[in-house]
Structure 1
Amino acid sequence: MPISPVSPWVSRFGGLLPAGLVLDLACGNGRHAAWLAQRGLEVLAVDRNPELLAEITAPGVQTQQIDLEAGPSEPLSSLFLPQRFSAVVVTNYLHRPLFPLILASVARQGVLLYETFAAGNEQFGKPSNPDFLLQPGELLALLAADAASSWRVLAFEDGYLAGPKPAMVQRICAVKQAGASVSALRIA
C-alpha cells in the first residue's frame, strides 16, 4: 500500500517538535512517523492494526500495537505516562476518552499537533457520525479545560479544506506550559 503524503499541517509545524520521544497516535501506515524520523526525531508509532504497523520500517521509529478504544488496560496506562512525550501527533483520528491521557502525556514545553474531521464533514462523506467529528472550537476548549497545565496555542483552524479532498477539519498546534490558562499566538 503506498504511503499517503504528509499532512500539510504536520509538515508546517513539524519543525517545532522538540527532541525527545514523539508519539504518532493512531499512526496507520506511519506516514508521519517516517517523516518525523527523517528529521532526526525518535518516534513511537501506535496503532491497533498489526498489518499497517508492519509496513513501518523507517529507522528511528518504534511501533506498538494497542487497541486505543478497548478501555482501561495495561498497554494504555503504560503508553500514556505523565509527561512522557516531547510531542504528540494525531491526524484523522478521534476518540474523546483519550484526550485527558494525551494532554497529560505531553511534557512541559512539548507540542501537541492534532488534526481531524469536524462537524459539517458529513456533507462531504465519511466520517459522518458525530462521534467522530469535532464540534466547533472543541480542541481549544479541551486545552482550556486542562486544569493541570496551560497551553500556548500557536495555530488553530476550524473549517473547510478543499484538498486533498473536500472536508471540514479542525486542527491545532500548541505548546504545553506551566500555569493554568490557554494563551494564543497568531502565526501569519
Structure 2
Amino acid sequence: MSTTPHGALAPSPWVMRFARHWPAGSRVLDLACGSGRHVRALAALGHRVTAADRDAAALAGLQGVAAELLAADLESGPWPLEGRRFDAVIVTNYLWRPRLEATLACVAPGGWWLHETFAAGNASVGRPSNPDFLLQPGELLALAAREGLRVVAYEDGFVDGPPRFVQRIAALREDVAPGAAPPRNRLD
C-alpha cells in the first residue's frame, strides 16, 4: 500500500542486490507489481517475469516486457497462483497477510523469497499508517522460520528517500531434490 506509484520509483536496491546473481532465464514472480519497476529491471537481466497485479491498465504497459501478465485481485476471490512455482518471488510495498503463506508456497525448491514493505513506525512519517499494512518487528523472520526458509539477509528500520520504516528479507527455500547441489548464496 504505497502512496507513490510503483512506476515512479527506481527498482529497489534490495531486490537488485540479489537478483543480479540469479541465472538468466530464472522464473520470477513479481506479486502486486504495480506499473512494473521490477518487472522491467528483471526482464532486462534476462529473467522470465510473471507480472501479477489487480490493475489491468498498469499491466497493459508491461505487454512485451513480462513473460506473463496476470490480472487478478490478489486479496479476494480464488488464489490465481495455486500450484505454480517460481525460482524467485518478490513483493515490494505490499502486504496482505491472508495470502502470505500462499505467496511462499510459490517459491520453488532452491528458490528465493524477497519481500520489502512498510513496517511499524511508518505512521510517524506518512502513509501507510494503518497497522493492517505495517509489518510488526520480526514478522518476516517468523514467517520464514515457519515455512522452513533460510534467511540470507534481513533488515528492519528507518530509511530515507522517501522517509519510511521498512522491513525486508531475502530467504532461500533449500529443500532441493536429493543429490542436487544446494542453491548458491552469492552476496558480493
User: TM-score under structure 2 normalisation?
Assistant: 0.85
1:33 is matched with: 39
Query: Any conservation in 2 of the 1:37–1:58 contact (CA below 8 Å)?
Result: no
Q: SS state of the match for residue 59, structure 2?
A: helix
Letter in 1 for 2:137: P
Deviation at 1:60, TM superposition (A): 4.4
Letter in 1 for 2:149: W
Q: Report the CA distance shift for 1:85/1:104 in structure 2 as closer, same or farther (over 3 A).
A: same
Letter in 1 for 2:152: L
Query: Any conservation in 2 of the 1:109–1:177 contact (CA below 8 Å)?
Result: yes
Q: Residues of 1 paired with 2:128 and 2:8: CA distance?
A: 20
1:63 is matched with: 69
1:81 to 80, 83, 88: 83
Q: Residues of 2 paired with 1:17 and 1:94: CA distance?
A: 24
Q: Residues of 1 paired with 2:45 and 2:22: CA distance?
A: 10
1:49 is matched with: 55
Query: How many residue pairs were aligned?
Result: 174
Indicate whether 1:102 and 2:103 are aligned. Answer: yes
Deviation at 1:80, TM superposition (A): 3.3
User: TM-score under structure 1 normalisation?
Assistant: 0.85
Q: Residues of 2 paired with 1:140 and 1:119: CA distance?
A: 15
Deviation at 1:3, TM superposition (A): 4.2
Query: Any conservation in 2 of the 1:86–1:106 contact (CA below 8 Å)?
Result: yes
Deviation at 1:41, TM superposition (A): 0.4
Letter in 1 for 2:174: Q
Percentage of pairs with the same residue: 50
Indicate whether 1:8 and 2:46 are aligned. Answer: no
User: Any idea what the Cα deviations from partners look like across 1:12-50, whole Å, max 9, x if unmatched?
Assistant: 111233543210000000110111010010000000011
Q: SS state of the match for residue 110, structure 1?
A: strand
Letter in 1 for 2:172: V
2:92 is matched with: 91
Query: Any conservation in 1 of the 2:144–2:150 contact (CA below 8 Å)?
Result: no
Greater strand percent: which structure?
A: 1
Query: Any conservation in 2 of the 1:53–1:63 contact (CA below 8 Å)?
Result: yes
Q: Report the CA distance shift for 1:22/1:122 in structure 2 as closer, same or farther (over 3 A).
A: same
Alignment of 1:85-164 (within 5 A): 85-146=86-147, 150-163=148-161
Structural RMSD (CA): 2.1
User: Any idea what the Cα deviations from partners look like across 1:47-87, whole Å, max 9, x if unmatched?
Assistant: 0011111111353432110000114x1xx2x41315x1111
Q: Residues of 1 paired with 2:44 and 2:67: CA distance?
A: 10
Q: SS state of the match for residue 140, structure 1?
A: helix
Deviation at 1:162, TM superposition (A): 1.3
Structure 2 unpaired stretches of 5+: 177-184
Indicate whether 1:175 and 2:172 are aligned. Answer: yes
After TM superposition, which residue ranges in structure 1, 4 or more long, deviate above 4 angstroms? none
